[in-house]
Amino acid sequence: MLILGLESSCDETAAALVTGDRRVLAHRLAGQEEAHRPYGGVVPEIAARAHVEALEPLIEAALADSGVSLADIDAVAATAGPGLIGGVMVGLVTGKAIAHAVGKPLIAVNHLEGHALSPRLADPDLVFPYLLLLVSGGHCQLLLVEGVNRYRRLATTIDDAAGEAFDKTAKVLGLGFPGGPAVERAAQMGDPTAVPLPRPLFRSPEPHFSFAGLKAAVARIAGDYRPEDVAASFQAAVVDCLIDRTARAIDRAPGATALVVAGGVAANNAVRSALSSLADAHGLRFVAPPLWLCTDNAAMIAWAGAERFAAGLLDPLDTPARARWPL
């Protein structure tokens, strides 16, 4: 089984070819950091235009890398939401056009499902059900992944996502965009105990998240401390919150075979190592995809497509793009 995957829901344009037996034959990606940098964040209209320009050449390149032709694919999987609607439409319409032209089915993938199943692309031994911490720029959720198309949401953020807080912290500290990796680098040279910062919802009974108060606190005190110390203290606060909330969710997920992390913030080494220790303490396996698979990419969309294809879950060509689409 061979799936072409397309991703364009935020600020990465991507195309990938992935097989049902977990071989990534090609994965191509074009970021838009340069276009958005002057604005310190993703500008939807600029993103949509950039996707239009980048997507077709990326598909051509992915086909050339893998040596297959469009006639060889079994289905086209495209992100159909959630995300910036202009961008989502670019990838979905392109996917529909290819599916129609080659006479193969379309699979409309929820971007969050792409993240949720991505650990199974990297790890053949990861079986359902597993507890997933999905932490990205737009989302912060704890999900019990019971199977393909079977997701039980145990918790979500009541305000901002963790990645958003990383990006905002980077902006306040003048570290540039995108913020997560920049904050992580600065944090390595700072003292995580130097700046007193709140840990919203710490120890509260429901495993929900909140980062708005932390974000606001960073903005308030940033000028009074060394940027490296703010970065390190901020990162330590995020890690504490993620660990405390995930520990709550573990109690509510008996039978989970593993603790899994996915999404852009899962690329953060402090987050990964703290979660690994938490899993150890609870006798759970810990699974984190390789870094390139954590941030947005099309291999995860192709893989989710492969899983859905195997389950017989196909979509009609009039499937709409959706800005909002909870799992």
Residues tagged in the binding site annotation for substrate: 134-138, 167, 180, 184, 268
Told to check if 275 binds ligand KG4 by CB under 6 A, we report: no
Burial of 21 (0-12, 13-18, 19+ CB in 10 A): exposed
- Give how far Cα 255 sits from Cα of 130, 248, 252, 279, 287, Å: 8, 15, 9, 14, 16
Instruction: Considering only the stretches 61-69, 177-185, 196-204, 246-254, report the one whose residues sit in contact with ligand KG4 under the rule CB under 6 A.
Output: 177-185
State the Cα angle at 266 between 137 and 180, rounded to 5°: 50
Told to check if 13 binds Zn ion by CB under 5 A, we report: no
Among candidates 93, 63, 105, which has minimal Cα distance to 310? 105
Site for ligand KG4 in 292-321 (CB under 6 A): 295-296
Of 5, 81, 179, 289, the one binding ligand KG4 (CB under 6 A) is 179
Q: From residue 135 to residue 164, what is the string marking binding to ligand KG4 with x (rule CB under 6 A)?
A: -xxx------------------------x-
Q: What are φ and ψ of residue 276, in 5° steps? A: -60, -45
Instruction: Considering only the stretches 23-31, 33-41, 85-93, 175-183, report the one whose residues sit in contact with ligand KG4 under the rule CB under 6 A.
Output: 175-183
Of 12, 160, 167, 296, the one binding Zn ion (CB under 5 A) is 296
What three-state secondary structure class fits 191? coil
Q: Rounded to an integer, what distance in angstroms lies between the CA atom of residue 274 and that of residue 123?
A: 20
Instruction: Considering only the stretches 44-52, 116-124, 149-157, 178-186, report the one whose residues sit in contact with ligand KG4 under the rule CB under 6 A.
Output: 178-186
Helix (H) or strand (E) holding 78: strand 75-81
Q: For binding to ligand KG4 (CB under 6 A), which residues are involved?
A: 10, 136-138, 163, 166-167, 178-181, 184, 263-265, 267-268, 295-296
